[in-house]
Structure 1
Amino acid sequence: MDLAAPLHPDDLARAAQPIEVTLPAAHRARITESRAFLGKILGEDRAVYGSTTGFGALVGFKGRDDPRDQADNTLAHLGAGQGPDLDPALVRATVLVRARSLAQAASGVSPHVVDALIAMLATTFAPAVPRFGSVGASGDLIPLGAAAQALRGRGFAYVGGKRMPAAEALAEAGLDRLPLDGRDALALVNGTSLTTAALTLAARQVRKIAAAQQDLTCLLTDLLGVDPQFLDERLMRRYAHPGAITVAARMRAALAGPGEQSGATRPGAGEQSGATREQPGGKRPLQEPYSIRCSPQLFGAAEDALRYIDQVVAADLAGVSDNPLFFPDDDSVVHGGNFFGQPAAFAADLLTTVQAQLGNLAERQLDLLVDPHRNGGLPPMLAAGPGQQHGLQGVQLASTALIAEIRRDAMPAGMQSLPTNLHNQDVVPFGTQAALRALDQAELLRLICGSLALGLRQAAYVGARRPTGGRTGELLAELEQIDPVDPDRPLEQDVRRAAAICCDRY
């Protein structure tokens, strides 16, 4: 992985395990040049935030004279985080994002700092970082402060998944303690790398889940013998939204049989004159419930939203999140607000909205599937022996609880600004909370998706017709690796397995 190039979301996922990261010689030379420029302007007695001054609201006061003491001055007061540790995989992704930002040679950081982050990523080392404490404004100060301290051998860290004092973890991983001065310490913490990492991983996961849900909707349509005219190409062109057009084309392809065109719907679709349509699974209404009929419009809106979120992620992964920035060619040090995570906050809040509606859809589709009045006469709860067995009853209860959890947390964070830091940070984006919440909810949405998938597998067992579509048939065949529910058994692991079968295909 080359730090000269913008990161890809898959890079952050790979960072969960040891990875090889490289820094081209030309980029290292630019970092060295930027660092030398910092020394020059400090020698000219020019003001540089965090190097000659205090921090935050105390910027008007002189900092410590010794650069190493200034590093302590930066990091010690940030040791105020609370709550459980973040997932080490997320922390490692955060370090990768920070390394990419610093490698762009605009932070005046010492080259050995970037080298140390690269060395860390080649091991299983991960700083122990508390979840709570960031407002996502002057960067993720408290979480990144914990990460920086762990690299110095202070606090705690993980090696091979085991938590231990950071000094022991460094020794076990074969890493040296990281020496820092004031600018190095500030450069490590004064950015939104945690927010960016969490948003990136959440968006990546939701893209997989959305694709899986489209496939599951097609399988639902196929198993119940639903008329696919709601996906008609002519219909979707008139709807005009790009995401819906893309999604409907993908769904038509999933339902197409061998050698069948996926443009218009199948011959005769929508041409019956009665109020119902005869299918192998029973009579279907002329117009299906919205959870089927409006699914391409819903998925399409999600696709359009995800495209916007992808743009925010790409910009965050490509940009420099720090303050101040150094421009040797212009003999300038520029103070500003590139640590302000508002784009990620808005994107993460939007992602939460997307997940809530995707979860609503999947939970309603499962409800339809277990209801004998709407599933074409299949047994209630898809039980192999209703009364003697209970089929998907517990799974449906759990999925209803999961979507309620997502909906309860769907209040946007990005507009919940609270002033802090003696009104230096008088408006803050709370992007960290928004991004971490979106990442949490992605796991819940994945479980709802697995619940629907398990229901579809069970429907095929208790009497639904066999799929006629090529890709829907393939998906059912994969799901049939899971034993049918006959007799009843605990299903929590089956839900997780079904989720993996559906979502890990992408």
Structure 2
Amino acid sequence: MLHTIEPGGLDARLLRSAAEGGSRFALAESARARIEASVRAVRELVSRHDAVYGINTGFGKLAQTRIADDQLAQLQKNLVLSHSAGVGKPLEAPVVRLMLLLKAASLAHGVSGVRGEVIDALLALLNADVLPVVPEKGSVGASGDLAPLAHLSGVLIGIGEVFVGGRRLPAVQGLTKAGLKPLELGPKEGLALLNGTQCSTALALHAAQRLQRVFDAAVAVGAMTVDAAKGSDTPFDDRIHAVRGQPGQREVAGTYRDWLHDSPLRQSHLHCEKVQDPYCLRCQPQVMGACLDQMRHAFNVLLTEANGVSDNPLVFADQMEALSGGNFHAEPVAFAADNMALAIAEIGALSERRTAMLMDPVLSGLPAFLIEHGGLNSGFMIAQVTSAALASENKSLAHPASVDSLPTSANQEDHVSMATYAARRLHQMLDNTAGIVAIEWLSAAQALEFHRPLQSSPAIEKLHATLREKVPFMHEDRLVAPDIEAATRLVESGVSLA
């Protein structure tokens, strides 16, 4: 499927298509006039011999150094080479695909002085799934994601490496695969390619995509645990949530009602003596609703960033001016990522508490550690310990990255956002939380079967069957790690009521 990229026109659907791969993207023809005008403006500014940052000057602390006209092309190439200083393992394919799309979309606004053929080349790499090898570490999230974007952009001039079908190849071979030849960058083009928040934004957007799936699974599994523990559905009554008015809370309560609707198991204990359930069951709408509100706010910030321009300087062709500013500072992305980290940690923390509750026969009314012949068998005892370890690790990772800053470039760039780390660490947290929810799913499914022949709701029984296609009931102790791995894959793939 071919998607046309209009400046400011990215949405969740396009971002998802880009991350998944397999779609094609093209620059809207309507954007080309403004792009060409910005290129002409750069040429005019160069001909005037006025000092314009990054066009005919050095970079960062070296901005006071003027560069001769016959060295401007070399200046842009040197910028890419010198800034390709990343370390660590390569970023994953969905993130690099998003980086290519976001950089092309930013340049398409026509205020960066970059030729249309450069933008087309970025999209050609994306369309051919020729993905630059981008080390994950090396950006502080201000002056843009310089090192990651240098590695991304270096491929356009034949420098660096790419992944093609899982194989790591020299950049020149990747260009051939995409039907391209190495480019010579014009004035301002290297700087425009490197300046921007596209790495941190791509990391955070991909985390948001993953988080939605983990969130949906956590709500579904949490509903299963309510029934497995013979909990009450009264706390999900809309009247409770309407009088508070928090939108996420009210919406999520409705989702819990949908999952639990028409459960014979619930009907079997409507008039029991238990008055109130533990918070991990009763307060799910309040906690998960707050997480949902944070997730949506963060995504809206990231979508705005994806549709904006974070280059510097910006070229306004109508006024024939290049204005230096600070749109490359990724503070909005850092804050959004930090808020997502809180949500990820809380989703996992609440899930772990539900698992722990199921282990305790006093609270759950079920066999200790959900296994027959306890003592001889340990059941889910250590699976819950693993869940606790993952939840505890997330607490450390949830510490806000945005409050940290270290001056760079000899104190010229003296306050930075740390947005790239803020976004990158989300994926480690998501790995942890997906594992926590997977362990709860295994536990809740096991617990349900101790209530047979009573059935849960049709929706929860379908969720139970989905897990049982991969993981059987635990009659006696067995190797648990493969079960957790299988359940984690199911969590990451997403669940729905449909």
Q: TM-score range by the shorter chain?
A: over 0.9
- Provide the rounded CA distance (Å) in 2 between the counterparts of 1:56 and 1:118: 29
Choose 1-10 or 74-83, whichever is displaced more. 1-10
Contact 1:91 1:126 in 2 (8 A): yes
Specify whether residues 62 and 370 from structure 1 end up closer, same or farther in structure 2 by C-alpha distance, changes over 3 A only: same
1:173 Cα deviation after fit: 4.8
One-letter amino acid matched to 1:484: F
1:64 Cα deviation after fit: 4.8
The DSSP-based 3-state class of the residue aligned with 2:188 is helix
- Provide the rounded CA distance (Å) in 2 between the counterparts of 1:178 and 1:10: 31
Give deviations 1:129-185, integer Å, cap 9, x for gaps.
112110100100011111111232222221111223323333345432233134111
1:202 Cα deviation after fit: 0.9
1:20 Cα deviation after fit: 0.5
- Asked if residue 136 in structure 1 is aligned to residue 136 in structure 2, the reply is no
- Asked if residue 505 in structure 1 is aligned to residue 495 in structure 2, the reply is yes
The DSSP-based 3-state class of the residue aligned with 1:22 is strand
One-letter amino acid matched to 1:44: R
Instruction: Summarize the alignment of residues 143-292 of structure 1 with structure 2, pairs less than 5 Å apart.
Output: 143-257=148-262, 277=272, 285-292=274-281
- Asked if residue 339 in structure 1 is aligned to residue 328 in structure 2, the reply is yes
One-letter amino acid matched to 2:329: F
Q: What corresponds to 1:2 in structure 2?
A: 4
Give deviations 1:230-283, integer Å, cap 9, x for gaps.
112221122222211111122112211299xxxxx99996xx6xxxx26xxxxx
1:415 Cα deviation after fit: 1.1
- Asked if residue 393 in structure 1 is aligned to residue 363 in structure 2, the reply is no
Contact 1:326 1:333 in 2 (8 A): yes
Specify whether residues 466 and 173 from structure 1 end up closer, same or farther in structure 2 by C-alpha distance, changes over 3 A only: farther
> TM-score scaled by structure 2?
0.92
- Asked if residue 349 in structure 1 is aligned to residue 338 in structure 2, the reply is yes
Contact 1:224 1:465 in 2 (8 A): no
The DSSP-based 3-state class of the residue aligned with 2:350 is helix
Q: What corresponds to 1:14 in structure 2?
A: 17
Structure 2 gaps, min length 5: none
Q: What corresponds to 2:100 in structure 1?
A: 95
- Asked if residue 303 in structure 1 is aligned to residue 292 in structure 2, the reply is yes
Q: What corresponds to 1:79 in structure 2?
A: 84
- Provide the rounded CA distance (Å) in 2 between the counterparts of 1:83 and 1:343: 25
- Asked if residue 421 in structure 1 is aligned to residue 398 in structure 2, the reply is no
Q: What corresponds to 1:262 in structure 2?
A: none
Give deviations 1:33-79, integer Å, cap 9, x for gaps.
22112112222223321111110111111135323201122122213
Choose 315-324 or 38-47, whichever is displaced more. 38-47
Give deviations 1:333-376, integer Å, cap 9, x for gaps.
22111111001101101111111111110111111112212112
Contact 1:244 1:299 in 2 (8 A): yes
Q: What corresponds to 2:433 in structure 1?
A: 445
- Asked if residue 436 in structure 1 is aligned to residue 438 in structure 2, the reply is no
- Provide the rounded CA distance (Å) in 2 between the counterparts of 1:168 and 1:388: 60
- Provide the rounded CA distance (Å) in 2 between the counterparts of 1:229 and 1:127: 53
- Provide the rounded CA distance (Å) in 2 between the counterparts of 1:25 and 1:298: 46
Structure 1 gaps, min length 5: 260-264, 279-284
One-letter amino acid matched to 1:318: N
The DSSP-based 3-state class of the residue aligned with 2:300 is helix
Give deviations 1:432-456, integer Å, cap 9, x for gaps.
1101111221122112111111111
- Provide the rounded CA distance (Å) in 2 between the counterparts of 1:496 and 1:191: 37
Which of 65, 74, 91 is the aligned partner of 1:69?
74
Instruction: Summarize the alignment of residues 399-414 of structure 1 with structure 2, pairs less than 5 Å apart.
Output: 399-414=387-402
- Provide the rounded CA distance (Å) in 1 between the counterparts of 2:22 and 2:379: 42
One-letter amino acid matched to 1:461: E
Choose 127-136 or 496-505, whichever is displaced more. 496-505
- Asked if residue 382 in structure 1 is aligned to residue 365 in structure 2, the reply is no
Contact 1:447 1:495 in 2 (8 A): yes
Contact 2:42 2:188 in 1 (8 A): no
One-letter amino acid matched to 1:42: V
Q: What corresponds to 1:28 in structure 2?
A: 32
Q: What corresponds to 1:282 in structure 2?
A: none
- Provide the rounded CA distance (Å) in 2 between the counterparts of 1:170 and 1:64: 30
Contact 2:124 2:178 in 1 (8 A): no
1:492 Cα deviation after fit: 2.8
Choose 458-467 or 95-104, whichever is displaced more. 458-467
Contact 2:223 2:259 in 1 (8 A): yes
Choose 387-396 or 459-468, whichever is displaced more. 459-468
- Provide the rounded CA distance (Å) in 2 between the counterparts of 1:291 and 1:491: 24
Q: What is the root-mean-square deviation in Å for CA atoms of aligned residues? A: 2.3
Q: Percent identity?
A: 34
Contact 1:137 1:340 in 2 (8 A): yes
1:109 Cα deviation after fit: 0.3
- Provide the rounded CA distance (Å) in 1 between the counterparts of 2:201 and 2:195: 13
